[in-house]
Amino acid sequence: MRLFRFGKTLWLLALLLVLPLGVPPAGPAGAADSAVASVPARVSFAIPAVTEEQQASELPNILVIGTGGTISGQSADETSFQTYRAGSLPIGDMVAALPNLDWIADVNTFQFGNKGSGSYTIPELYDLSLAVDQGLQDYDGVVVTTGTDTMEEIGYFLDLTIRSQKPVVITGSMRPWTVIGSDAPANLFNAIKLAASGKTARFGVVLMLNDEIHSIREVTKTNTYRLDTFQSPMLGILGYIDESRVRIYRVPARALKPDDEWATPFDLRKITKDQLAKVEIVYSYQGAGGEAIRAFVEAGAKGIVTAGTGAGGISAAMREERDKAIQKGVVFVSTSRTGSGSVYGSGEGILAGDNLNPAHARILLLLILSFTDDFETIQEWFAKYGVPEVPERLPQKSGS
């Protein structure tokens, strides 16, 4: 039976009614100068429609959105594991090369961009999030391919902004598509399989790499080259894929929330790209100076994440500059550089990062400051959406 099919025909008709005549669809990444960029509600992407044949099929419809990265890399030769050009192969060609795909899903593709993950700007992630949500109006799930360098940040941005509860899987690879022993085809195939299974609906964005399924909030890249680079410190994986078996052994707390509490306040249709806040990260170390904090404040940062020693400690010079910045209205989040563990210390103008790593904490603070400058609301949202604990009372089924 087809999974998660929600009024596709009605949505397509509604889209035709709301899109103004004469406004061309926005292109892929890099279209920040488009005339529609400042009107979020009218942004539309040239995502392929589900065909009549696909609608009639019993298989789930999955959209794969390609953004580039190592997974679409072209190597210098078949044994050049680290010598390659990322973002070279079109996502349509990659999906077409996968064997037995028609066993698990009907798949269409959309080329959002084709470059390394670290080259994407926050305004481009704004576009990517809207593109994913547009795809989820008509498809049963979406797979996003990207580079692994900033995959956790791209995925967490999507996790916090996508409005649909349908499955969204982000994947990539540590080896380019064209080398022997590449993990790229297997990762892409398994990501499509996971999205088609429907088992991660309501999870938000999950990461699928190396046959393992991770919560995007918790996962981080831990090694420059190894295939098992992505780990979820302290908390571990959600599950894994073994051939036809998709095993889920734990769920994120978000999946247990009732429908009226599931979505975050970060609806990108309500803001424009120029409202996206500037948030930076500073790193503490022995005798660290405060110049970085001062420079970021002078450059217009509304928020700064400190990657502190131990449980969030920073140097005396950094504390002095932090105090000055707080008086100017800059909001700080205290996190740890250790790679795991929680930070609980907070105070005037300072939020505790809990167990978010600095990169994740920056994404959350950036979105919060894009929607409010009220510190009480900032505190509330950071605690609610940054620390999604299991509810005291789980949702009950009717009649139970």
Cα distances from 299 to residues 148, 302, 335, in angstroms, run 29, 9, 22
Residue 255 and residue 53: Cα distance in Å, rounded? Answer: 32
- The whole-angstrom distance between residue 247's C-alpha and the CA centroid of its chain comes to 22
- The whole-angstrom distance between residue 345's C-alpha and the CA centroid of its chain comes to 27
Residues with Cβ within 8 Å of residue 377, at least 6 apart in sequence: none
Residue 265 and residue 273: Cα distance in Å, rounded? Answer: 16
3-state secondary structure of 175: coil
Helix (H) or strand (E) holding 334: strand 331-336
Whether 67 is catalytic is no
Query: In 3D, which of 395, 394, 391, 370 has the Cα closest to residue 381?
Result: 370
Tokens at residue 153, please?
Answer: 């940040």
What string of DSSP letters covers 68-85? Answer: -SGGG-EESSTT-SS-EE
CB atoms within 10 A of CB 295: 13
- The whole-angstrom distance between residue 396's C-alpha and the CA centroid of its chain comes to 29
Annotated catalytic residue: which of 67, 70, 109, 200?
A: 70
Query: In 3D, which of 5, 396, 390, 386 has the Cα closest to residue 166?
Result: 5
Helix (H) or strand (E) holding 279: strand 279-283
Residue 170 and residue 74: Cα distance in Å, rounded? Answer: 20
Tokens at residue 98, please?
Answer: 């996968």
In single-letter form, the type of residue at position 380 comes to E
Cβ(114)–Cβ(67) below 8 Å? yes
Residue 185 and residue 97: Cα distance in Å, rounded? Answer: 8
Show which residues are catalytic. Answer: 70
